[in-house]
Amino acid sequence: MRILLFCLLFYGTIAIAGSPFQKLAGLFHISSAPQADLEEPLISNSHLYLSLSGDAAKSTYEAMKIEPQISYCGEDHFEKRAENFSCSFYFTKNVYECSFSIDINRGKLDLGGVC
């Protein structure tokens, strides 16, 4: 029994170590549609808002094949935007962040918020 348990733990660790997935840091909340989306009445609890930070945000920002634009929304920063998905680099703090939301009833990517 101990040998079986050891083998399961050993091979399970190898399988996980070979995965391309990495830990994800960030925040989330569930709320209504972004305020900029006024096509329909706001339905509460319709959107999952996600904000990535740390290595996940930095890797995503660097992987985006989009020229960064300076953004004056809030704190000055560089932003890369692909429709409703955006990643920012706050150069004064050396911090990366990506934000977006998902309409959980339609399975559609939406804005992460408005400035």
- Residue by residue, DSSP assigns the chain as -HHHHHHHHHHHHHHHHT-S----EEEEEEES--TT--SS---TT-EEEEEEEHHHHHHHHHH--S--EEE-SSS-EEEEEETTEEEEEETTTTEEEEEEEEETTTTEEE-S---
Residue 96 tokens, joined: 């990366």
What does the pLDDT average to over 67-72?
94
Residue 41 domain flag: yes
Residue-number span of the structural domain to which 88 is assigned? 24-110
Is residue 12 situated within a structural domain?
A: no
Q: Is residue 97 part of a domain?
A: yes
Is 45 part of a structural domain of the chain? yes
Say how many domains are in the chain.
1
pLDDT at 6 over 50: no
Q: Is residue 82 part of a domain?
A: yes
Q: What is the pLDDT of residue 17?
A: 59
Residue 14 domain-assigned (yes or no): no
Q: Flag the least confident range among 24-28, 47-51, 55-59, 97-101.
A: 24-28
Residue 52 pLDDT > 80: yes
pTM: 0.72
pLDDT band at 42 (very low <50, low <70, confident <90, very high): low
* Residue 8 falls inside a structural domain: no
In sequence order, the 6+-apart residues with CB closer than 8 A to the CB of 95 are: 53, 89
Mean pLDDT of 96-105: 92
Residue 76 lies in a domain: yes
Question: What is the residue-averaged pLDDT of the chain?
Answer: 80
Rounded CA gap, 71 and 79, in Å? 6
